[in-house]
Amino acid sequence: MNSVRSVCVYCGSSPGSSSAYPEAAKTLGRTIAEAGLTLVYGAGTRGIMGAVAEGAAQAGGKITGIIPRFLIRKEADGVKPPDLDEFIVTEDMHTRKHTMYEKSDSFVAMPGGIGTLEEIIEIMTWAQLGRHKKPIVLANINGFWDPLLSLLDHMSAEGFLHSSHLVRPIVVERAEDIVPAILAAASEAGPNGADEAVISKL
C-alpha cells in the first residue's frame, strides 16, 4: 500500500529567467495529479506556484493551497485561486509552513528564491534532527540546486554535518521523474511508509 498520498511543492511566485522552470513545474503538477496524489503548495497564482497548480488542475488533481493572510493580495490576487479543493489561510508564515508539513507525505523544492530555500532547508533540518523521515526531493532543473549540493558536501567535509545522510535529499533532474522517485522510495519502505528506506538510501 502506498504511504504517500500528498506532495508538498515549495516554489516561488516568480517564473525565473528560464522557461524551463515553469514548464517543469507544470509537468510536476500534472504528474502529481495523474498519480492520484494531492498537491500541497503555497496557494499562489503567479510564477512557479501558478504553473504547478495549473498543471495539477488541468489533469484533474486535488489541490490544497496554504497561504498567510498578508500574502493573499501579493501572491493570489487577493482571492481564493479557483482550482483549489482546499484553501487554508493562516495568520503567519510559521503556521503556514507547519500546516504544509502536517498535510504532506513528501516534499519537493522547485527552483525558487530565498523563501523556497528557507522552506526546504527547514524540512531538511527537521529530518536531521529526527523529526521526520518523509522523502525530500530537489528538482534540479538545469542544475539549479548544484550550488546547494556543493555547499552540503562542503559542510560535511568540514565536520558540520555529522548526520549528512539524513540531510541530503533525492536529486532529480527531470520533472517527470520526481513522482516516480517518491513512489519508488515509498515502495521500498514497505507498509510503514517511505521513511526508513529514504533515509537509508540517501
pLDDT in tens, 65-113: 999 999 887 776 667 788 999 999 999 999 999 999 999 999 999 999 9
Domain locations along the chain: 6-201
Per residue in 19-74, pLDDT (tens digit) is 999 999 999 999 999 999 999 999 999 999 999 999 999 999 999 999 999 988 77
Distance CA(174)–CA(54), nearest Å, equals 18
Residue count of the chain? 202
Q: Are 69 and 49 in contact (CB under 8 A)?
A: no
Cβ-based neighbours of 192, under 8 Å, separated by 6 or more: 3
Q: Which residue, among 2, 194, 19, has the nearest Cα to 107 in the 3D structure?
A: 194
Mean local confidence (pLDDT), 174-190 = 87
Separation in Å, CA 183 to CA 40, 125, 135, 167, 199: 16, 22, 9, 19, 14
DSSP 35-76: TTPEEEE----SHHHHHHHHHHHHTT-EEEEEEEGGGHHHHH
The position carrying cell 523563501 is 115
Q: What is the DSSP string of 164-202?
A: GGGTPPEEESSGGGHHHHHHHHHHHHGGG-SHHHHHHH-
Reported as a pLDDT band with limits 50, 70 and 90, residue 189 is low
CA–chain centroid gap for 159, Å, is 28
Tell me which fold the domain 6-201 belongs to.
Answer: Rossmann fold (3.40.50)
Q: Is the pLDDT of residue 190 over 80?
A: no
Backbone angles phi, psi at 10, to 5 degrees: -95, 130
Neighbours of 138 (CB within 10 A): 24
